[in-house]
Amino acid sequence: MYLSKQLLPMFALALLTIAGNTRADAHLPDPDGDLERLRTLGPGVLFWQGDAQISGFRNMTLINPAREISAGDNVLELPRAPADLDAVTVEAAGMRMSTGEYFTKQRVAGLLVIKDGRIVYERYGLGNDETTRWVSFSVAKSVVSMLFGAAVKDGYIKSVDESVTDYLPRLKGSSYDQSTIRNLLQMASGVVWNEDYADPESDVATATYQTLNLYEYLRHKPRNAKPGERFNYNTAETNLAGTLLRSAIGNNLSTYLTDKIWKPFGMEADAYWQLTESGGGEFGGCCINATLRDYGRLGLFALANGRLADGTEVLPASWMAESIAPSKGYNGYGYFWWLTAAGAYQAMGIFGQGIYIDPARNVVIALHSARTSASKDSDWELQNALFSALADAVSGG
């Protein structure tokens, strides 16, 4: 796999954006029966523990402002062809366990395996079920990547080789004059950014992520590399990508996701997308709250190269292939997708969220978790081994 400490920066967005705002919503009942306790969880999602962490992850939109992503009346049915996968062996990081043992030890809230469009395995834990919404963290980045494809298909964006400042003129005269949309999607803008969480003076520690403040912070940053040459994980630029997309489409991301993918592809339940501030825009890099089956359907949409069940193209025909091509700066990353050496690709979020897509074997795996560590190499190695072992098991490999 091309995955190791490169994943560590994925937790920054969560660390900096769970702001402790509260929002009661009639559409989002509190399954834990303790709304007041949820409201006091506040900032510091990295440090939530035990039952508080689980309650927080499945009730994030009661704690933070969010916007609805609406499901339609026509649901993409997922027929069943059950297989017993609990005994499949997972081996990595010097550890060996069964899928059933992984489920418990890695605090899995939901695991879904889809082969040839059929659910072959579906299991829930931590009090979740098929109706539970769960926070995605950085899985949302890969959804944004697909929405960029929709914007190209719709003509809102002419090309990913257009300049960032063509769509965000407030940044004209800054280092972003030289950076393209493609550079943002590949984490290779060339703009200086320090994502060192141990340094209180680093960019990631001092930047403010509300939209206008982020503009002002980034417009003064110099560059230290030619655009496209160097992979540099940049939490701020994932939000900048979301802002650019909203500017291009003249709409919010939740509505665009509703209209382009959620309703027409047949998602089963409404979802919610966390906002940078009350009434503001969605985080480009974080925090769609959706059910496990709809994570799986997102994987099926990607696997279908952005086509609906009736064959209608929502994304350009070549978009997914372009999105999962290794970038020059880092061959383990595409357009907000993590790549594997075996040709599979993934959307990944801290604490063990994921959508794994294996085109060669026609497999999609979706995962909800509440691991005790946000980002630990051994956990990622085990998660990748789980995905690979399950894909092998259901494909006869």
Spatial distance between the Cα atoms of 226 and 224, rounded to a whole number of angstroms:
7
Q: Which candidate, 131, 137, 134, places its Cα nearest to that of 109?
A: 134
**Paired strand residues for 80:** 119
Degrees to nearest 5, angle at CA 113 with 112 and 116: 140
If you search the block for the tokens 């499945």, which residue do you land on?
Answer: 58
Spatial distance between the Cα atoms of 185 and 397, rounded to a whole number of angstroms:
33
pLDDT tops 50 at residue 328: yes
Q: How confident is the model at residue 318 (pLDDT cuts 50, 70, 90)?
A: very high
Q: Which candidate, 247, 238, 296, places its Cα nearest to that of 111?
A: 296
pTM: 0.92
The DSSP output letter for 283 is P
Interval 60-91: pLDDT, tens: 888 889 999 999 999 999 999 999 999 999 99
- Sequence-ordered list of residues with C-beta below 8 angstroms from that of 211, at least 6 positions apart, any chain: 239, 243, 276, 277, 280, 281
Tokens of 199: 């340094």
Tokens of 19: 């702001």
Q: What is the mean pLDDT of residues 218-234?
A: 93
Q: What is the reported pLDDT for 43?
A: 54
Interval 2-58: pLDDT, tens: 444 344 444 444 444 443 333 333 233 444 545 566 666 555 677 788 888 998 999
Q: What is the reported pLDDT for 22?
A: 33
Q: How confident is the model at residue 347 (pLDDT cuts 50, 70, 90)?
A: very high
Q: What is the reported pLDDT for 9?
A: 44
- Sequence-ordered list of residues with C-beta below 8 angstroms from that of 357, at least 6 positions apart, any chain: 299, 302, 303, 344, 345, 346, 363, 364
Q: How confident is the model at residue 335 (pLDDT cuts 50, 70, 90)?
A: very high
Cα 253 → chain centroid = 14
Q: What is the reported pLDDT for 83?
A: 96
Radius of gyration of the chain (CA): 20
Spatial distance between the Cα atoms of 55 and 38, rounded to a whole number of angstroms:
7
Q: Mind listing the domains of the chain with CATH numbers?
A: 5-155+250-395 (3.40.710.10), 164-244 (1.20.58.710)
Q: What is the reported pLDDT for 205?
A: 75
Amino acid (1-letter code) at residue 264: P
Strand duo 89-92 + 288-290: pairing: unpaired
Helix, strand, or coil (residue 392): helix
Spatial distance between the Cα atoms of 156 and 149, rounded to a whole number of angstroms:
10
